Structure 1
């Protein structure tokens, strides 16, 4: 069934070694460099003003921490770092030059979060407008499904809230009787998508990307071009490099886990949480087989 491949397996494993362990209380320059290498194409996006990601109080600017679970701190001071009309690469470079590694890391993750949510938000806009015009979206839905399959591991891997994409999954699961054409007006379907958009509305358009247009009066052909522009932005910018490890463990926050390969102690329960995608499990299986082969060789 279409959209079934969106469903990734979430497995919780206790005390297992991990290839990446990022301590949020002690972010290093190496952690920032690794993040930039893993999302190399993100470095060239340009920041614009945004009330959610650039908060001001007490005469200082702050950025939020994007994690979807409870953390020890909810925001980090910019401390004079300029964002507006600068590329992500330059902003991160300036943070690193001043040894503000935690700030650099959070700004980068906020950029990932905003770009992913903006893509999903714009698809919901597109789907709603197409339904108003009784236009079939089965082809576009498949393309969106394919891209979302790539985005979900990134969202889970970086501990960004899964609530928006889970909402979209539920919409299409609840309306699956329409056979994914949605070429008849359906107010309940549109209202459900509006509910998903509401989850993301405060976080969209942090980055300068596709031109912002009013789509209410667009023709179907222009809606098609608008949707394609949205797809191209996410396709060329937010991509996890193939050589990047599939799993990430982040520690150092309240109600989060300790890392068994880290040297320092952290607060929270001792639980290691992993997100597996099918290709990640395939890689893990290869590693297990290699270890077993080595063990058998030693025994013999």
Structure 2
């Protein structure tokens, strides 16, 4: 049964759809006195979606309380200003003043949830491991970039097979091994390296068991990764990513190294990065 509005003597929230121009957004933001701090990267992502024509109208949008104070949608309004274009979205008026703490108070839908709900990735869907691997494929050597949802969706569609390979073959519980900056190297290498060789590299890295005389450098890498563990330090992540690429490159060439140094440029190009 479809939910129906009930009669009530309480103030009713009224919602309409409007084309919000940058001028309107600017006026409404002047009353933005009770909101959280602006996340500029999120604003930039929303603006990119708007400029690309990928903004879809839903029941979510802008909201004002009974005093006319903006209580929801500040990032959308700032994005309209940055994009410089009019966007159609829902605008609600009359939210009770005391209800502001209920806005955005429930569980947010994650990017991986949104991707899985499209049905484009089969029964396996998309996991947080897949998403973190994808981001590190692009960000580990060049940190700071944040993807708008639709761009991340496009990239996931392009690289899901490589990402699933990396996630499946680097799945050990050993400390510091099955982390995004390691899986990202494997996913990138999937496009240019023989898959049996790549699986062997992952196996030695995961188990710590030598299979050939050239595997000693992989064990040295494994020891360093385990000693560091799971870190959120971007400088350390970048260094370890570079070392995984260096060791994999030498190992594929049948070389061993006593000292592990990170690469300074990408060794395994993605198809869209290859210049003819």
Q: TM-score, normalised by structure 2?
A: 0.22
> Which has the higher Rg, Structure 1 or Structure 2?
2
Higher relative contact order (CA 8 A, sep 6+): 1
